[in-house]
A and B are shown apart, each in its own frame.
Chain A
C-alpha cells in the first residue's frame, strides 16, 4: 500500500461533456469537478428563483443528484453539459418555488459579496458572462424581456403569466418564443461572443 493518497486526477483538459460521461460511470471525482465548474452559477440561479439560501441549497443538491443518477441519459449531441446541469437545477428550483409559492420577480435587493475563496479568474469570468447576457437581455423589447424574466427567474407558468399580465396565453407564448429566439441570436453575435473575454492580470 502506498503511503500517499493517489493524486487527484486533473480534469482540466476534459470537456464538460467528458466530465458528464465520467459521472455516468459513477465517478465521484467527476461529480465533484462538475460541481466545481457549475455549482456556483447553479446556486446563484437557484437563489434568484427561490430567494432563500436553504431552499436554493436544496435545489442545487437535488439538481446535482439528479445528474448523478441520470448522467447516462445525457445526450451530448442534444445539449451542452452546462445547459443540461443548469436545466436540472432550474427545474428543481421552479418546482420548489411553485410549491412554496414564494415567487417574486424583482431582482435580489442587494448583491452578495463573493466569499473570499472565489478565485479572481472565476469572478472575472462570471462577471463577464453576466454582463454579456444582461447586455443581450437589455436589447430585447420590454414585453419580451419581462416574459422571459418572469418565467425563468420568477418561476411563473405561462398560464399564470397570462393572468398576471392580463394577456391571452397565446400572446405570452409568442413573447417567450420571440424573446428567447432573439436572445439566442444576440448571444451568438460575435460582439457578444465568449471569445471576447481575455483573462487580465490583476493590477491592484
Chain B
C-alpha cells in the first residue's frame, strides 16, 4: 500500500476498524512514521472517550478476583524488584518516566528523556525501582525528593540545580551520627536522579556539597542542601 494510503488508515486503526491484514501493514508503517504516531496518539484518545458514552453497569465481583488470580499464576518467577536494567532503553525510559510522574517531578519533556544516554536512564530507573517497592517512602524537600526503600536503599532527585562549574562536582553524603559517608557524585542540571551509595536508615540525613571534580573523602563545604529521612 502507498504511504499516503497508509496515513489515511490512522482513524480506522484508532477505532479498531481495520481488517487484520490492513492493521498489520499499518503497524509496520507506524514504526517509521512519526506523523502517524502523533496523529494516532491524539485520535486514540478521542476513540477512548467513546468508551465513556456507554452505560457502565458494575461487572460481577468474580471478574476482578479471576483476573487477579490469573495474573498471579502468570507472574514471572522472580521477585517484583528484579532489576530490569537489561530491558530495551525505550521500556526503561517508560518505567522511569512513570515513576517520575508519580513523584511529580521531571519538568523536562518526556520525549527528550528518550534521547538521553543509557547511564542517565539507568539512574532514573534505579529511582523508579526504589519507588516501586512496597513500603518505600518519598520525602519531599525544597528542591526535590528523597526516595528511600524499605531496606534503606535510597535515591535523591534534585530539580533545577545549577550545573556544577568546570572542575567542580556535587557530592552527596549520608550522615547518621558519625562522619558523613560519600554517597555519590552528580553534575546538577534541570533534573538529577542520584541513586545513593550506602543505605539511608531512618533518621539519617542526606547532604549535598560542592566539591572538586572527582569528589573528596570528607565534605569541605557547608552543605547546599540537606534532608532528613
A residues with a Cβ closer than 8 A to B are: 6, 9, 14-15, 17-18, 20-22, 24-29, 31-32, 35-36, 39-45, 47-48, 53, 56-57, 60-61, 64-65, 68-69, 72-80, 82-83, 86-87, 90-91, 94, 108, 111-115, 117-118, 126, 129-130, 132-134, 136-137, 148, 151-153, 155-159, 161, 173, 176-177, 179-181, 183-184, 187
Partner of B56, one of A40, A82, A134, A158: A40
Binary interface encoding of chain B residues 1-34 relative to chain A, with 1 for a CB under 8 A from any of its CBs, else 0:
0000000111110111111001000000000000
Which residue of the partner chain, among A31, A112, A118, A161, contacts B68 with CB atoms under 8 Å?
Answer: A31
Complex-state Cα separation, A153 to B53, whole angstroms: 10
**Residues 55-95 of chain B, each 1 if its beta carbon lies under 8 Å from chain A, else 0:** 11111110110111011101110101100100100110011
Specify which chain B residues have a CB less than 8 angstroms from the CB of A56 in the assembled complex: 59
Q: Within the complex, what minimum Cβ distance (angstroms) separates B21 from chain A? A: 10
Assuming the contacts A57-B63, A115-B57, asked whether A44 and B98 have C-beta atoms less than 8 A apart, the reply is no
Residues of B contacting A183 in the complex (Cβ-Cβ under 8 angstroms): 46, 49-50
- Contact A39 B59, beta carbon cutoff 8 Å: yes
Query: Pick the contact of A44 from B57, B72, B81 — CB < 8 Å?
Result: B57
**Residue positions of B touching A, CB distance < 8 A:** 8-12, 14-19, 22, 37, 41-61, 63-64, 66-68, 70-72, 74-76, 78, 80-81, 84, 87, 90-91, 94-95, 97-99, 101-102, 109-111, 114, 128-129, 132, 134-135
Measured between beta carbons, the chain B residues less than 8 angstroms from A159 are: 19
Contact of A148 among B15, B19, B111 (CB under 8 A): B15
Q: How far is the CA of A183 from the CA of B56 in the complex (A)?
A: 21
Looking at chain A's contact residues, the main secondary structure is: helix
- Flag if B50 contacts A72 (CB, 8 Å): no
For B15, list chain A residues within 8 Å (CB): 148, 151-152, 176, 180
Chain A residues, CB < 8 A from B87 = 72
Nearest-Cβ distance from residue B75 to partner chain A, whole angstroms: 6
Min C-beta distance of B103 to chain A, whole Å:
8
Chain A residues near B132: list those with CB within 8 A: 21-22, 25, 27
What B residues does A148 contact at CB under 8 A?
15, 50
In the complex, chain B residues whose CB is within 8 Å of the CB of A64? 67, 71
Across-interface contacts of B58 in A (CB, < 8 A): 40, 43, 114-115, 117-118
Are A21 and B99 interface neighbours, CB within 8 A?
Answer: yes
Residues of chain B lying within 8 A (CB to CB) of residue A156: 17
Residue of B54, B60, B90 most packed against chain A (CB within 10 A): B54
Give the CA-CA distance A133 to B56 in the complex, in Å. Answer: 14
6 smallest CB-CB distances across A and B, nearest first, come from A21-B98, A18-B102, A44-B56, A115-B58, A112-B57, A43-B59
Q: How far is the CA of A80 from the CA of B18 in the complex (A)?
A: 22
Partner of A78, one of B41, B70, B102: B41
Contacts A18-B102, A126-B52 known; 15 new A-B pairs at CB < 8 A: A17-B101, A21-B128, A40-B56, A43-B57, A44-B55, A44-B57, A61-B70, A68-B71, A76-B110, A77-B111, A112-B55, A118-B58, A130-B55, A173-B9, A184-B45
Report whether A130 and B52 are in contact in the complex, using a CB–CB cutoff of 8 Å. yes
In whole angstroms, how far apart are the Cα atoms of A79 and B38 in the complex? 10
When distances are taken between beta carbons in the complex, the residues of chain A under 8 Å from B16 are 87, 90-91, 94, 151-152, 155
